[in-house]
Chain A
Amino acid sequence: MTVNPSGWRPSTPATAQGETQTVTGNRALMLEESLIFEIGTTEQTGVDFAEAPKKATRLNGLERNREIGLPGLSEPETVRHYTRLSRQNYAIDLGLFPLGSCTMKHNPRLNEKVARMPGFADAHPLQPQETVQGALQVINELAFWLLDLTGMHGVAMSPKAGAHGELCGLLCIRAALEARGDKREVVLVPESAHGTNPATAAFAGYRVENIPANAAGRVDLEALKARLGPDVAAVMITNPNTCGLFEPDMKAISDAVHAAGAFVYCDGANFNAIVGRVRPGDLGVDAMHINLHKTFSTPHGGGGPGSGPVVLSEALSPYGPLPFVAKMPDGSFKLVEEENAGDEHPDAFGRMVAFHGQMGMFTRALAYILSHGADGLKQVAEDAVLNANYILRSLSDVLEAPFANSGPCMHEAIFSDRGFADDVSTLDLAKALIDEGFHPMTMYFPLVVHGAMLVEPTETESKASLDQFIAAVRSIAERAKAGDPSLKAAPIYAPRRRLDETLAARKPVLTFREPEAAQAAE
């Protein structure tokens, strides 16, 4: 959820003192690595195949007659290439990864092992149902616990990620409204919402209107009530919200929305703050997606895959998409899809994906839930909130915390750039954190806080790790306030110095071109 503002140009390079150039460009364990297109050839391969029997082809005369241009590498070269690349990445396994709203918590390795069990990893989605009862049971068990944890009525398991879940929820709302002959056009979204909320509402064919926040960083209930009317289909609320605050008026918001004939969509990106302690169903929510890759710790993998099941209220459940898994009276499991849905699920709005959703994430999430149990999940929420408040209190004397006076935060702490010297920005502080061995926090989001820094430590950080992070931020914050010009040069110790994002956007180079071809295109 970090946003790099565009328009920035690299500043004058500052070379560390005493540094000498090496012949290779490598610096001990910091190893440079070329592109596969520069080191591989189309004749090299890392896979051995048996000779194919010579047979006439049946390709309709469409045999490929020119080279694709795919370089190959032997296995040792391949392993080395990607291992070298991997070492240029920061990761949770290396240290605290405090990206607000992203929930970068430890990924238990048991879950990787479970997802690779042959009955899950090596089963085809269209196998006859009698051959995949265990896989269907996983989906059903996970669905059951998601309902238990949220206090909701139904769940659509197939959405592929959070934004896809948002889309699913809005489509359920739209289907429910249309079923009662009510065509509404507007979705209300708070200013502080994730960008996916307004984008999803537009993707689902709605017009988006913003609702303002009050001085305490919460939805302005009176402004919301004033805007509700017969044209409003839904209100999308993130709770806890993107400032890391619980919406104390949530029930009143829901009641007002329902009274106006609209539905409440809750962005569940921050469910990890309340899991096992608060059930969204008790707050009047009609639909909420759950990022299994946040709250239930399926790995982020550098940007996915995610998984975004959507829990639904009783009013919306009939409209959920196909397919879904039902438990039969005899204890077997049934995948309800096109061929058998007709009578049982006549109002389903259709299919959102091929097949049945992110099975590999379901197995991991189920193992996570069973490992933690009711007591462990409650502790997850409590420790996540405790860690965030510890950071909030430990930094609020050096960084401005705009909402600290209104009380504790939930799972993430927000700070602004107020008090920084004029020419020092949030970006500079973030880049300096890289040199200290930390991934920066979310920057410039949410938009309602100037130069926002959103810090989410998660529950899987020890106190020692938090203390080290706090010490680093304190030191950089002091430099930022004093206007230390060296902050502009950060990071110095990362595999790369600041990268020129403006150049990348102005003259996009999105694929590799052989030097001759690239020159010809100039």
Chain B
Amino acid sequence: MRYLPLSDADRSEMLRVIGAGSIDELFRDVPEEARLKGPIHGLPMHASEMAVERHMTALSRKNMVAGDVPFFLGCGAYKHHIPASADHIIQRGEFLTSYTPYQPEIAQGTLQMLFEFQTQVARLFGCEVANASMYDGSTAMWEAIQMAHRITRRKKSVISSGVHPHYVSVATTMAKFTEDALDTTLPELTATTDVERLVAKIDGETSAVVVQYPDILGRITDLAPIAEAAHAAGALLIAVVTEPVALGLIKSPGEMGADIVVGEGQSIGVGLQFGGPYCGLFACREKHVRQMPGRLAGETVDAEGKRGFVLTLSTREQHIRREKATSNICTSSVLCALAFTVHLTLLGEKGLRQLATLNHARACEAAERLAAIPGVELVNDSFFNEFTLKLPVEARPAVHALVERGILGGVSLGRLYPGAEKLQNGLVVAVTETATDEDIDALEAALKEVAR
């Protein structure tokens, strides 16, 4: 077996040193009846690298590849070009095969990278501090709600209808068990979001208001009035960013008064990967840092006075504080954070702005052309690289009809909000720098056939 270095001679010699007659003796604490007699039933015997690769290739080929077709899906996962050097760096064994940097003297590579990542995320979100990553955006949002509850000592949150329904679903699942009150509602196919509802719902028991920016339908809302209303009632504003590329062009949530900003880092460096692993981003005000979940890298000096980095403030964490920890999170998404930080370093401020400008320009052009199709309406007044169309027909079957024409044309709101009748004609279309003129032509032509 190619992954196992011990030879039979090694095994015999080692058993002799141990003083055991057989391997089975080493398993003697396992009750006899629980020990399997031979190799487990069902699973085939070991296979060559070539055979496994062949099997996996066959499975891979059964999928329609985003990069092979005109592609317009978004809703929390975005297709952007990833520079070759970013994927090269995350495959360096010193990053790929290292552990959480608990021994800082021999983990400065990961620690410095995380310190840089934290700084980039904090600046991008307009916050003072950021942590070293969470599982993904959806779990980061629930952690933010919990963190707000610890800070305000209140248990009621108002969630905007524009928050990704999977994110809301995660929070609803958890709130059932923690007995937090979440005020949620479905979105409407209108140009503006539910700012008035949010502001009206805030009262003296509200812990946090949660808003997505840009929202699930692609709309961009000024967060400042919501922040103001929340703060006046002693509540916090949590902003959720599922497309951080947008922040190359629009104001950061922190700048508009958000207290905690969480997000999904997938669109920078990580790739689609059929939904995971992704990279949860988490930033907040410095005064709240001790209530923050997750790992933090911090600067310090070594015994010779040289600058170095360590994991710090770990008295918040489960391995020290156990049941009193701010979160149960242990493993996070460090390798994805590395992909994010490498890509963002390659971009820099200038590149991010160019990338964002290009995305917005492509989306504006596509929106204009698709909205000109008879019967198709553009729901949004504002958007970044993603907008919602109201079709004259149900969007779910339309999406399948587009697939028959070789196009991945968007996400139907029927899939995200099953049973919500008023949303069934909604199609969310994302247009990034990867969409060519030909791709947009193809979608326009196909939608003309399908949307009638």
- Say yes or no: B100 contacts A71, CB within 8 Å: no
- State whether B129 touches A505 (Cβ < 8 A): no
Indicate if the CB atoms of B27 and A199 lie closer than 8 Å.
no
Interface string of A292-313 (1 = CB under 8 A from B): 0100000111111111000000
- A351, B274: Cβ atoms under 8 Å? no
Any A CB within 8 A of the CB of B228:
no
How close is B214's CB to chain A, nearest CB, in angstroms?
9
Q: Identify which of residues 18-53 in chain B touch chain A, using a CB-to-CB cut-off of 8 Å.
A: 18-20, 23, 25-31, 33-36, 39-47, 49, 51-53
Residue A453 CB within 8 A of the other chain: no
Q: Please name the residue on chain A nearest to B224 by beta carbon.
A: A62
Taking a contact as CB atoms closer than 8 A, the residue among B101, B124, B178, B334 that contacts A70 in the complex is: B124
Chain B interface bracket (under 10, 10 to 19, 20 to 34, 35 or more): 35 or more
> How many Å from the CB of A215 to the closest CB on chain B?
15
Distance in Å: Cβ of B32 to nearest Cβ of chain A: 11
CA distance A39 to B200 in the complex (A): 48
- Are the CB atoms of A374 and B43 closer together than 8 Å? yes
Does B109 reach chain A (CB closer than 8 Å)? yes
Return B60 CB to nearest CB of chain A, in Å. Answer: 3
Binds B, one of A76-84, A257-265, A417-425, A479-487: A76-84
B360 / chain A contacts, CB cutoff of 8 Å: 52, 57-59
Which residue of B106, B112, B220, B247 contacts A33 across the interface (Cβ within 8 Å)? B112
A contact residues around B447 at 8 Å (CB): none
Chain A residues, CB < 8 A from B322: 195, 198-199, 208
Closest to A275 in B: B40
Q: How many residues of A are counted as interface, with CB atoms below 8 angstroms from the partner's CB atoms? A: 216
The residue from B28, B122, B176, B249 contacting A511, defined by CB atoms under 8 A apart: B122
B409 to chain A, nearest CB (A): 10
| Of the residues B10, B300, B381, contact of A501 by C-beta under 8 Å | B300
Say yes or no: A120 contacts B63, CB within 8 Å. Answer: yes
Chain A residues contacting B442 (CB-CB under 8 Å) are: none
Contact of B99 among A6, A53, A102 (CB under 8 A): A102
- Measured CB to CB, the closest approach of chain B to A117, in angstroms, equals 4
**Chain B positions within 8 Å of A59 at CB level:** 220, 249-250, 360, 382, 384
Verify if A448 is at the interface (C-beta below 8 Å from B).
no
Tell me which residues across on chain B come within 8 A of A489, comparing CB atoms: 303
Among listed B131-139, B181-189, B202-210, B230-238, interface-contacting one = B131-139
Identify which of residues 1-23 in chain A touch chain B, using a CB-to-CB cut-off of 8 Å. Answer: 1-4, 6, 10-13, 15
Q: Does B276 contact A (CB under 8 A)?
A: yes
Q: Which of A354-379 contact B (CB under 8 A)?
A: 354-361, 363, 366-367, 369-379
CB distance from A245 to the nearest CB of B (A): 7
Q: Does B227 contact A (CB under 8 A)?
A: no
Q: 3 nearest interchain CB pairs?
A: A72-B348, A301-B335, A355-B275
- In the assembled complex, the Cα of A41 lies from the Cα of B308 at a distance in Å of 22
User: Is B251 a contact of A350 with CB atoms below 8 Å?
Assistant: no
Could you list 5 further interchain pairs (A-B, Cβ under 8 angstroms) beyond the known A92-B98, A113-B53, A494-B105? A3-B320, A46-B85, A97-B97, A107-B97, A119-B62
Known: A134-B59, A339-B418. A46 touches B166 (CB 8 A): no
Chain B residues closer than 8 Å to A113, beta-carbon distance: 53
- A351 x B169 contact (CB < 8 A): yes
**Does A505 lie within 8 Å of B66, measured CB to CB?**
no
Using Cβ atoms and an 8 Å threshold, which residues of chain A touch B354?
A: 45, 47, 49, 52
Q: Chain A's nearest CB lies how many Å from the CB of B107?
A: 6
Q: Indicate if the CB atoms of B275 and A383 lie closer than 8 Å.
A: no
- CA A394 – CA B336 in complex, angstroms? 39
Which of B46, B165, B416 sits near A376, CB closer than 8 Å?
A: B46
**A164 to chain B: closest CB distance in Å?**
6
Would B93 and A393 count as touching, CB distance under 8 A?
A: no
Q: How far in angstroms is the closest Cβ of chain A from B341? A: 8
Q: How far is the CB of A119 from the nearest CB of chain B, in Å?
A: 3
Q: Are A461 and B97 in contact (CB under 8 A)?
A: no
Quote the shortest CB–CB distance from B12 to chain A (angstroms). Answer: 10
Q: Please report which residues of chain A, range 338-360, place their CB below 8 angstroms from some CB of chain B when the two chains form the complex.
A: 338-340, 349-360
- The answer to whether the Cβ of A44 comes within 8 Å of any Cβ in the partner chain is yes
